[in-house]
Structure 1
Amino acid sequence: MGSKYRNTPLFGGAITVELPSKFADVSQLREVPDHQEVYIDKDGFTSIIVEITERVGSKGASSLEDDGRALTTHLEELVGDDIDTVKVWNTTETQFTSIPEELPAYTLIATQTPKVPNERKSAPDFTALILTLLRIERLSTDILITVNVPHIKGEYDEEEVDLALGKQGELIGDAVEYAAKIWETFKIKDWKLFDTV
């Protein structure tokens, strides 16, 4: 079943992207840092975060190696001390439909499993992450787009998920679809945005 999408302005309309219609803008519920836009599934636990950060890595033209390191650095910053509980399943080069081709982009799919089984019912068994990094060299900017997919016991079919066997299950399948829609519809309308962040 395909999701319905709506054109969503981010950062005051400087960026537009199609996000699932059932996702709500978190900034209307609580404070979100200026360099982030956070949307959460009203019917579930999945969230989509678009974040503008300073470019990671050395100055100058980026190499595949630099970009790989940057992706790892951003992943480490994202999960903090839990990096040793993260498994990266695959990393691919990504092409945004409306972004100049010379701007490199990469996507990784990873899972983060809590160290200890949690007593709290709401703690996830694991969280899947689809992390896309778009690098804008000349503006010293990295744009991170993360789809976080917590898998909470009873809320998903455990038999459907085995990434080692390529079985993503419904939640990750949906998240991959959201990410693909973002790559297809992400447009930067106002490049001056990056001067201010």
Structure 2
Amino acid sequence: MQTVGDNPPRPHPLFGGALSTVIPSSSTDISTLRDIPDNQEVFAHAHTDQSIIVELLEYQAQVADQDAARYHFEDIAGSNKALEPGAFQVTNIIPLPKSELSLSQCISGWMLTGAQSVSKFNEEARNTVTIHLGLFRLPQFSTDILVTFNDPQSIDVESSSASSVSGTHTEPWTVQDFQTLLQSLTLHDPGLFG
């Protein structure tokens, strides 16, 4: 099992090196374990049920920049079957100052914090997950880059995730780790976008 980030933080190549970012320590590149869609890079914490997904999505021109993070969050809620009342909520949306971002090509960056009640693998058991979402808008490449940090807050004992969490001896990822990832995201090859 390949882990990344066990040494001091250094940029990790994404999408064949077209992008890079600092991935938090104790992470496993999920593509070494199973097939991942070509538009995604997925990392999981080695000892908790936390995960990070970097995703290249079609730019949503009909959505205003300040509303785009919520748009993608609600899309994720739909994928997680968490759209019923009370199953998801947005607690905060803030702009990411461009002066603090390495991804200078984005016209705007946003960070959303929210929560969803989700089940894994269509199970009945539902887990409460805090979702931190970073969004970078690149209309010149017809792309929205979405970075999602899934941070479970409570895991149902009937969930398949219950047996995989052994986080007593390992530090979980923090919001600061996620912010470092967002700030260090760098584009090296615009050919990535076609």
- The TM-score bracket by the shorter chain reads 0.7 to 0.9
- 2:32 corresponds to 1:34: no
CA contact (8 A) 2:129 2:153 kept: yes
List per-residue Cα deviations over 1:78-134 (Å, max 9, x = no partner): 12131341111100001352122762011100011359xx875xx52x100000110
CA contact (8 A) 2:103 2:184 kept: no
- 2:176 corresponds to 1:177: yes
Are the structure 2 counterparts of residues 142 and 153 from structure 1 closer, same or farther at C-alpha, using a change threshold of 3 Å? Answer: closer
Question: Out of 60, 63, 66, which is 2:64 matched to?
Answer: 66
Any runs of at least 4 consecutive aligned residues in structure 1 with deviations exceeding 4 A, and if so which?
none
Alignment of 1:7-156 (within 5 A): 7-58=11-62, 66-80=64-78, 81-83=81-83, 84=85, 85-95=87-97, 96-100=100-104, 103-114=107-118, 120=125, 123-124=126-127, 126-153=128-155
Cα distance in 2 for residues equivalent to 1:40 and 1:184: 20
The alignment partner of 2:174 has SS state of helix
How many residues of Structure 1 are paired with residues of Structure 2 in the alignment? 166
Cα distance in 1 for residues equivalent to 2:178 and 2:9: 12
Greater helix fraction, Structure 1 or Structure 2: 1
Are the structure 2 counterparts of residues 29 and 188 from structure 1 closer, same or farther at C-alpha, using a change threshold of 3 Å? Answer: same
Structure 1 counterpart of 2:28, which letter?
Answer: A
Are the structure 2 counterparts of residues 88 and 137 from structure 1 closer, same or farther at C-alpha, using a change threshold of 3 Å? Answer: same
CA contact (8 A) 2:107 2:136 kept: yes
Alignment correspondent of 1:191: 190
Give me the TM-score of the superposition, normalised by structure 2.
0.76
Structure 1 counterpart of 2:18, which letter?
Answer: A
Alignment correspondent of 2:160: none
Q: 80-89 vs 130-139, which deviates more? A: 80-89
CA contact (8 A) 1:4 1:20 kept: no
List per-residue Cα deviations over 1:17-36 (Å, max 9, x = no partner): 11113101001111100000
Are the structure 2 counterparts of residues 13 and 149 from structure 1 closer, same or farther at C-alpha, using a change threshold of 3 Å? Answer: same
Structure 1 counterpart of 2:180, which letter?
Answer: K
Tell me by how many angstroms 1:175 deviates.
Answer: 3.1
Q: 40-49 vs 68-77, which deviates more? A: 68-77
Cα distance in 1 for residues equivalent to 2:124 and 2:56: 35
Cα distance in 2 for residues equivalent to 1:114 and 1:34: 24
Over the aligned positions, Cα root-mean-square deviation in angstroms equals 2.6
Give me the TM-score of the superposition, normalised by structure 1.
0.75
Tell me by how many angstroms 1:178 deviates.
Answer: 1.7
Quick one: percent identity of the two aligned structures? 31
Tell me by how many angstroms 1:177 deviates.
Answer: 1.1
Structure 1 counterpart of 2:82, which letter?
Answer: D
Are the structure 2 counterparts of residues 153 and 67 from structure 1 closer, same or farther at C-alpha, using a change threshold of 3 Å? Answer: same
- Could you tell me which runs of 5 or more consecutive residues in structure 1 were left unpaired when the two chains were aligned: 59-64, 156-169
Cα distance in 1 for residues equivalent to 2:133 and 2:145: 10
CA contact (8 A) 1:25 1:38 kept: yes
